[in-house]
Structure 1
């Protein structure tokens, strides 16, 4: 069994869906399970719907109608009027979503988010599965929520590996083409959960692990893993091979090509991960495996934007000791702040964090009761793996550096 994952950019329109057929024709389609994300920017659009539902109830339906029209146009481009059943299946999904909004009584944003956001994947896989059947690529559509079981940590759920393994090995049969959704799971009450943003790669790894797959291939609009995101860095180069260890390091620091959780289950069973271009599927791309380091050996650049830098010191200028640091980390954990950089001296402690759950104000109230706090919002965190002096100098040019930290192979720089 091989596992393929197609992201939203690869199926953003009818031509993208048709290109899935092209990839399968060139690479083969036997014993393949395909994981698909929501089409284009649908996840972002559904986040707007959720915001409107909570804060502007009169207008969320119009936002939802825009999403429905977008998918309707893709279906017209793919099927014309030849497959009315597809339109009806998608219409049922949108009715189900509206029914949730009508009947929901929970004020919990994270719960609401997970029940709504996955409809992007449900709709995309319904359309693509039917199009594959139309083109004689007979396939079985799987509801991933019935396969991947998790706890109820909404928006970043933890997988129940034993139960998930049992279900997947029973459901997925050899010599069959499957299509399923990325990003999603379900808890013990069968409420939808999500595995974190960009979690479709992780979904592919979960299936690969449970199936002892031959490989995982992530199909993207880039030739493979580059040594920097070309949207933010110039003259990027392709990395041919990356070790699991190096890839996990890059993912930890925020490299967007590979989801941080994806590599761990693959490494455990030494399942190679290929990152390839859906535009040139026969090119080698990048392979992540049990090799050592990266090839070629280049500085690798990572950017995380919209970060928060907190600098803390004690009110009485006493030392920042273990008790203080423990209290700070307990608060960071309580308010679900992901820590990206820490730096401390005798009387100060600095931390760069992701405010993904919008709990910054609550955190600051707690911290200011015991510490002097300086807060810089909307800062950028740059990480360079395998840095040299030239790469650091070039990155710092024309920027205000707020924090800088060097390790043997990694430098992290926070800028305003």
Structure 2
């Protein structure tokens, strides 16, 4: 088996879907599973639908209509016969979504988010599966929720590996071309769950692990893994080879090409990961594998925007000791803050977090009961792996530095 993952940028329009088919024809699709994300910016558009569901009911149907129109335009470009069954199948999915919007009684934002957001992947894969069948690339459409089982930690669900392995062993046909959704799973009550933003890469890795796949290939609009995001850094360079360990470090610090959880199951079975360009599919791209040295051996730059830097000190100038730190981390866990950097001294403690669940005000209120608290919102966290002095100077130039931390091989800098 080989597993291919195509992201939203690769299938943002009809030409993208046609190019996906072209990639399959060029590189081969025997014994292949294709994992596909929502098309283009559909996830963002569905987040608007979710926002309107909770906050602006008057705009709910118009925002949903925008999502329908976008996909209908792609359908009309791909299928000449408007009587094709795919039109009805897509319409049924949107009807199903509408029924949920009209009948849901749960006030839990995270639960509602997962029930709505997954329609992006369901619609995209149904369109692509039908198109591939139409042009002679016979395939089987799979509902990933029938294979990947998780807990009910909505928006960042944890995989139940035993149940997932059993379902894949029992129900997956490896002898055909299969297509399924990234990002999604289901809990024990069969409610939809999601694996976190950019979780489609992780989906590919889950299937690869359970199927003992030969390789995973992530198809991107870049030539492979670059040493920096070209949106924020000039002169980004292609990395030809990366070890699992280094790739896991880069993913942990926020490199956007590879999802943080993707590499762990691949490493356990030494399944190589390739990151290639869907524009030039026959180019070698980047290989991530066991013991592959970083090549070329250059600094790698990562930036995470819209972070929050919280600095604490004791009210009576007493030491920040284990008891205090334990309490701080309990609160960070309680309010679901993703911690990216910590730094402490005798009487102070600083932490840079990702406020994914919008619980910052509650956290600060709780912390202020016991600590002096300073908070900087909308800061940027820069990380350099394999740094040099010149790379640090280049990064710091013209910026206000709020926190800086150097360890062997890594420097992290928080800036306004």
1:188 paired residue number: 188
Deviations 1:170-195 (A, max 9, x none): 22223200000000000000000000
CA–CA distance in 1 between the matches of 2:212 and 2:244? 17
**Secondary structure at the residue paired with 2:57?**
coil
Deviations 1:193-222 (A, max 9, x none): 000000000000000000000000000000
1:330 paired residue number: 330
CA–CA distance in 2 between the matches of 1:83 and 1:355? 46
CA 1:216 to 1:83, structure 2 compared with 1: closer, same or farther past 3 Å?
Answer: farther
Please state if 1:273 is matched with 2:273. yes
State TM-score, norm by structure 1. 0.99
The runs of 5 or more residues in structure 1 that have no matched partner are: none
**Secondary structure at the residue paired with 2:58?**
coil
1:316 paired residue number: 316
2:366 paired residue number: 366
2:399 paired residue number: 399
CA–CA distance in 1 between the matches of 2:373 and 2:51? 30
CA–CA distance in 1 between the matches of 2:347 and 2:22? 61
1:65 paired residue number: 65
CA–CA distance in 2 between the matches of 1:205 and 1:292? 19
1:95 paired residue number: 95
**Secondary structure at the residue paired with 2:52?**
helix
1:31 paired residue number: 31
CA–CA distance in 2 between the matches of 1:116 and 1:400? 40
**Secondary structure at the residue paired with 1:295?**
coil
2:206 paired residue number: 206
1:259 paired residue number: 259
Please state if 1:146 is matched with 2:152. no
Please state if 1:382 is matched with 2:375. no
CA–CA distance in 2 between the matches of 1:140 and 1:83? 21
Deviations 1:213-236 (A, max 9, x none): 000000000000000000010000
CA 1:83 to 1:19, structure 2 compared with 1: closer, same or farther past 3 Å?
Answer: farther
**Secondary structure at the residue paired with 1:302?**
strand
CA–CA distance in 2 between the matches of 1:60 and 1:202? 31
CA 1:240 to 1:83, structure 2 compared with 1: closer, same or farther past 3 Å?
Answer: farther
**Secondary structure at the residue paired with 1:20?**
helix
2:174 paired residue number: 174
Please state if 1:163 is matched with 2:163. yes
**Secondary structure at the residue paired with 1:294?**
coil
CA–CA distance in 1 between the matches of 2:21 and 2:82? 19
TM-superposed CA distance for 1:406, in Å, is: 0.4
TM-superposed CA distance for 1:81, in Å, is: 2.5
Deviations 1:285-320 (A, max 9, x none): 000000243111010000000000000000001000
2:128 paired residue number: 128
Q: Is the 8 A contact 2:11 2:40 kept in 1?
A: yes
TM-superposed CA distance for 1:83, in Å, is: 4.7
CA–CA distance in 1 between the matches of 2:266 and 2:176? 22
TM-superposed CA distance for 1:64, in Å, is: 0.5
1:287 paired residue number: 287
CA–CA distance in 2 between the matches of 1:403 and 1:188? 43
Deviations 1:25-63 (A, max 9, x none): 111111000000000000011001100110001111100
State TM-score, norm by structure 2. 0.99
CA–CA distance in 2 between the matches of 1:218 and 1:287? 11
2:346 paired residue number: 346
TM-superposed CA distance for 1:273, in Å, is: 0.3
Please state if 1:78 is matched with 2:78. yes
CA–CA distance in 1 between the matches of 2:307 and 2:60? 29
TM-superposed CA distance for 1:260, in Å, is: 0.3
CA–CA distance in 2 between the matches of 1:322 and 1:30? 56
* Number of residue pairs aligned between Structure 1 and Structure 2: 416
2:112 paired residue number: 112
The runs of 5 or more residues in structure 2 that have no matched partner are: none
CA–CA distance in 2 between the matches of 1:150 and 1:26? 35
Deviations 1:107-157 (A, max 9, x none): 000000000000000000000000000000000000000000000000000
TM-superposed CA distance for 1:82, in Å, is: 4.9
1:408 paired residue number: 408
Deviations 1:3-37 (A, max 9, x none): 00000000000000000111011111110000000
1:250 paired residue number: 250
Deviations 1:42-95 (A, max 9, x none): 001100110011000111110000010000000000012355311110000000
Q: Is the 8 A contact 2:76 2:82 kept in 1?
A: no
